[in-house]
Amino acid sequence: MNEQKLKTELLTCLDALLQPGNLLKGSLYKVKKRCGMRYCKVCNSGGAHEVYQFTFTDKAGIKTSTTITNENLPIVEKAWQSYKLFRKNLKRYKNLSEKINDTIRLYEKRHLIDARGMKKTKKSARN
Ligand SMILES: [Zn+2]
């Protein structure tokens, strides 16, 4: 990958990482649950309702699960997707940083000059 492409990719990645929006870490999945209402036709006929559960680890380190209402589902889903994208960009950022560090180290070696034989060459004449 050339330097300009590295630079462009790094900036794109940084832009995304620095404006993450709401992030939600955990797992979102569908489960079947009985509602517990006495006269529910679905549950009384042996069925159950499909609901969304979100499992996450809380600040105290305890694994917790909560039911997501239909009203909150779009917000939860968006933040959950944002979190996955954030992690992906973070990984990409780390890879790009390593590549850039390697390139910078290489440039340092390549551009070091020796004080004993200070000759102006075409490459270093103005540096
Ligand atoms: Zn029910």
Per-residue confidence (pLDDT) for residue 117, from 0 to 100: 74
pTM: 0.75
| C-alpha of residue 81 to centroid of ligand 1, in Å | 29
| C-alpha of residue 72 to centroid of ligand 1, in Å | 20
pLDDT per position as a tens digit, 39-75: 999 999 999 999 999 999 999 999 999 999 999 999 9
| C-alpha of residue 123 to centroid of ligand 1, in Å | 78
Residue type, 58: D
Residue type, 70: N
| C-alpha of residue 58 to centroid of ligand 1, in Å | 29
56-77 as b/e, with b when 16 or more CB fall inside 10 Å?
eeeeeeeeeeeebeeeeeeebe
Please say if the pLDDT value at position 122 is more than 80. Answer: no
